[in-house]
Amino acid sequence: MKTFVQTLLSTVFILQMYLAMAVVAIVYFPYALLHRDGAVAACHAYCRWVCFSLRLICGLKTEVRGTVPTGEMLIAPKHQSFLDIIMIYGALPRGKFVMKAILGWAPFLGWYAKRIGCIFVNRGKRGAAITKMLADVKSGASLPGQLIIYPQGTRVAPGDQRPYKIGTAVLYSQLQQPCIPVGANVGLFWPKRGILRHRGTAVVEFLPAIPPGLTNDAFMAELEARVETSSNALMAEAGFK
């Protein structure tokens, strides 16, 4: 019975979440069209609403740990579900994602993503994708903010293993900025697939910066060790074995 009720509540949450996306996008559109700050404000408002309604309807709380970066930095988080996108962007003052090109065509989301300075890449064409990504990052360097790239390139369910991709190291080398690893346990409560949203506390944790200047191999090893250690600890804290 509890699972049925939680599934019903989760369904209500998901429906209103997508409705809220349309409402926020339309309400903020004039401001976002006139000024990029309007698009950033819209995205932050939507993130706040998702976290609020998630707690209200599903009983799932969200918590951001660590020191949230405010300067020009590369952010490299664990990616387990849509929720870590919401929590990380909502915490950052001026986030912009490296994201799949196909999402640029998504209603509302695509236009706002372009407006806040996100970088779109085609999956499956590794060399060409990295070349284009570097060119787009360079051309958009005048836009202030924190560039967010998921180093595993896709959502990874708790307990699953996926390799860390070289694109993050290439960006780290080009930008010559500190990189902030981010751990997460959100996939335990908001799964990669399915409707059910579980009660509990979803956490993302901003970790100490990796300074610029490391070789690609050293950087990737350090990044993976930090992100996986943090994520495993957060999942264990939540009861995952």
Would you say 164 and 223 are in contact if contact means Cβ atoms under 8 Å apart? yes
Is residue 33 situated within a structural domain?
no
Range of the domain at 195: 61-237
Check pLDDT > 90 for residue 183.
Answer: yes
Nearest to residue 70, comparing CAs of 203, 202, 209?
A: 209
Is residue 87 situated within a structural domain?
yes
Beta sheet of 179-184, edge-to-edge order = 60-65, 200-206, 179-184, 74-77, 146-148, 95-100, 119-121
- pLDDT, one tens digit per residue, over 109-153 is 999 999 999 988 886 665 566 677 677 776 655 567 899 999 999
Is residue 182 situated within a structural domain?
yes
pLDDT at site 135? 73
Would you say 202 and 62 are in contact if contact means Cβ atoms under 8 Å apart? yes
Number of domains observed in the structure of the chain: 1
Task: Please state the separation of Cα 226 from the chain's center in Å.
Answer: 17
Q: What would the mean pLDDT of 23-33 be, rounded to a whole number?
A: 97
Is residue 2 situated within a structural domain?
no
Q: Which two tokens stand for residue 3?
A: 């699972």
Check pLDDT > 90 for residue 67.
Answer: yes
Is residue 18 situated within a structural domain?
no
Angle at 41 between CA 48 and CA 135, to 5 degrees: 110
Is residue 207 situated within a structural domain?
yes
Check pLDDT > 60 for residue 186.
Answer: yes
Percent of the chain with pLDDT over 90: 83
DSSP one-letter string for 11-70: HHHHHHHHHHHHHHHHHHHHHHHH-HHHHHHHHHHHHHHHHHHIIIII-EEEEEESPPP-
Question: What CATH number has the domain bearing residue 191?
Answer: 3.40.1130.10
Nearest to residue 154, comparing CAs of 99, 93, 217?
A: 99
Percent of the chain with pLDDT over 70: 93
Would you say 122 and 129 are in contact if contact means Cβ atoms under 8 Å apart? yes
Is residue 208 situated within a structural domain?
yes
What is the spatial distance between Cα 201 and Cα 234, in angstroms, rounded to a whole number? 10
Q: What would the mean pLDDT of 188-215 be, rounded to a whole number?
A: 97
Is residue 9 situated within a structural domain?
no
H/E segment holding residue 96: strand 95-100
pLDDT at site 12? 98
> For the whole model, what pTM was predicted?
0.93
